[in-house]
Every structure is written in structure tokens, then in C-alpha cells.
Amino acid sequence: MLVLRLLNVIAPAYFLCISLVTFVLQIFLFIPSMFRDPSITPLFSPALLHGAFFLFLSANALGNYILVIQNSPEDLGKGLNLGKGAEVVTDWLDGSRSPGSALPSTHFCRLCARVTQRHDHHCFFTGNCIGSRNMRNFIMFCLYTSLACLDSLVAGMAYISAALSMSFANPLAFLTLLPHSISQFFSGALLSSEMFVILMLYLWLGIGLACAGFCCHQLLLILRGQTRYQVRKGMVVRARPWRENLQEVFGKRWLLGLLIPVLNVGSDYRRQKEK
């Protein structure tokens, strides 16, 4: 448990550091290196278009990241009489017991110390549980993080291609770039800044593919009306049309949520409480 609590603190700091490094490299290194053709009108130059696109991706990734933390799952355990005795406490800790006023798949998270409605999983990179209130923002965060990393990967490859006078037309060129660069770096033929960018290329590739795969897997579960917690526990869910499952998570303003970070729609349980 101590290791998990440390990971819950280190992972968000690691993500913020990677985001800051990516932003600095894009703004102060990759984009300025694109201003090399004076014949192109500055308003429609590739550098400005790429910079605007990267800022759009970054703003959405950071905005949804903040909303995932800010719109944290509601603690359903407040005001509920959970009972006394070792048996009741044990049932709550392993997630096998839910209060009568909570929906199925309600789960007690040890790290967050709260009872989460429609618990999906605990995300260490946000230091928060993912449930019905912040699921849409979490998916948008994964989507735009993946796009921002892949965009930085392409821009970084263009920078390295110009700096080292090499071509990535051959797919094997990227696979052999790292071992070849390490040998050049220790022989003194490669600058430290260029070696750092090359290492970031592989990091962006890994994060981008991981976020894209996780986003696709999460969307598949939503279409089936399931959560990761329900799949792990082997819970049977009521079959519903996939359109209803999507609307439950993304709401009717799903197109707006694709363009700008907005708060998640209220859950069924929350609307029942307000009534």
C-alpha cells in the first residue's frame, strides 16, 4: 500500500514534467526551426499552423486533466451508516458490498478513501478515481494526450531529420536511430540536445500508443455498458443499446466536448438526488 501511495504522488508529477518538457521543445525548438522559407506568407506558414494545432491539443489535454481531478467522483459513503464490525469493514474494503442507495459496481477505493459510483479504475497519473462523473473528461484527456504526443513525435522527427541530415523514408531508420545515436553520442559526434530529443521521440511514441490503446479499450467498454471494475469482478450488466451507453457518458453535448474541455454530464444517481 505504501508503494501505491508513493506512485499516486510520483505519477502526476512525472506527467506534468513530461508535459512541460514537450511544451518547451515544441515552442522554443521545433516550431522556430520551421521558419526557413521566407516565400511563404507568415499567416499560412507551416510553423504557425503547427503551433496553433499543438496549442489546441495541449489546451484540451490540460483542460480535461484538470477537470478529471476537479470533477472527482462523489463520495457516496458520506452520511451512510456502513455498520460496525470486522465483517462489514472487510466487505467494504474488497468492494463486495454496496449501500442500498448506491448503484451497482459502487466501490470503496483505499487510495482515495471514498466510495465511488460506477467505479472504473484508479488512475495514478491523475491521482484520482475514475467514475461516472469524470469518465468523459478522462477519455478526452487520453485522446488529446495521445494526439499531442504523436504530433510532437512528427515534429521531433522533422527536426532530427534536418539537424542530422537523415531521412526517415525507410521505416527501419527510426528503429535503428536510438542505438546508432547512443554510439555517436559517446563518441562525441552528437550533441546532448540532439540526444535528448531522440530519447523524447521514443517516449512520445510509447505514451501516444499507450493512451490511444487505452482510449479505444475504454470506448469499447462504454459501448458494451461496462466498466473495468465490472469486468474484473465478473459482474453481469443489463443489455442496453449502444447509443444509450454513449449518451450516458458523453451526454447530448458530445460534439462540444470534443472541441473544448467541458464538465461531464450529471449521472443518473446525481439527477435522482437532485429531484
Let me know the angle formed at the C-alpha of 145 by 140 and 146, rounded to the nearest 5 degrees. Answer: 100
109 is catalytic: no
Among the listed residues 109, 112, 123, 149, the single catalytic one is: 123
Nearest to 163, CA basis, from 171, 155, 175:
155
Q: Which amino acid is at 32?
A: P
Could you give phi then psi for residue 116, rounded to 5 degrees?
Answer: -105, 135
Q: What count of Cα atoms within 13 Å lies in the side-chain half-sphere of residue 205?
A: 12
For residues 160 and 162, give the distance between their C-alpha atoms in angstroms, rounded to a whole number. 5
Q: For residue 251, give the 3-state DSSP assignment.
A: coil
Q: What share of the chain is helix, strand, coil (3-state, %, to 5)?
A: 65, 5, 35
* Kind of pairing between the strands at 114-116 and 121-123: unpaired
Q: Which amino acid is at 105?
A: S
Residues designated catalytic: 123
